[in-house]
């Protein structure tokens, strides 16, 4: 008679130990899966950031190229104005120098 309740208690203890062991195993499995999922999320985020970085750099390079082209065009116009001014003053300078030398 006494042996029967003790046997039930031992059985319940073993059952509890097995449940705890199963719960721990399930917890470990969930933790591993969560880590894998986090690593995938981080990898995807890094990939997205790298792609966005490339787009930003490309846009910046395109804008820089436009600015350089615009500045080159403006410099060419300014250079032509200076050349035209110098050309128009060439005759005046020659006349001035000739007048000083002869005069």
More confident residue, 89 or 64: 64
The pLDDT tens digits of the residues spanning 7-31 come to 888 898 989 999 999 999 999 999 9
- Averaged pLDDT, 64-90: 94
Alpha-carbon span 74 to 65, nearest angstrom: 14
Alpha-carbon span 48 to 54, nearest angstrom: 10
Task: Say whether pLDDT at 2 is over 70.
Answer: no
Alpha-carbon span 28 to 72, nearest angstrom: 65
Task: Say whether pLDDT at 3 is over 80.
Answer: no
Q: pTM score, two decimals?
A: 0.56
Of the candidates 95, 73, 75, 72, the residue with the CA atom closest to the CA atom of residue 83: 75
pLDDT for residue 98: 83
């Amino acid at each position: 008679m006494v042996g029967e309740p003790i046997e039930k208690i031992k059985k319940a203890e073993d059952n509890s130990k097995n449940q705890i062991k199963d719960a721990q195993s399930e917890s470990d499995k969930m933790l591993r899966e969560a880590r894998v999922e986090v690593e995938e999320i981080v990898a995807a985020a890094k990939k997205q950031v790298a792609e966005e970085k490339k787009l930003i750099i490309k846009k910046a390079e395109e804008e820089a190229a436009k600015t350089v082209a615009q500045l080159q065009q403006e410099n060419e116009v300014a250079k032509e104005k200076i050349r035209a001014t110098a050309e128009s003053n060439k005759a005046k300078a020659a006349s001035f120098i000739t007048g000083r030398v002869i005069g």
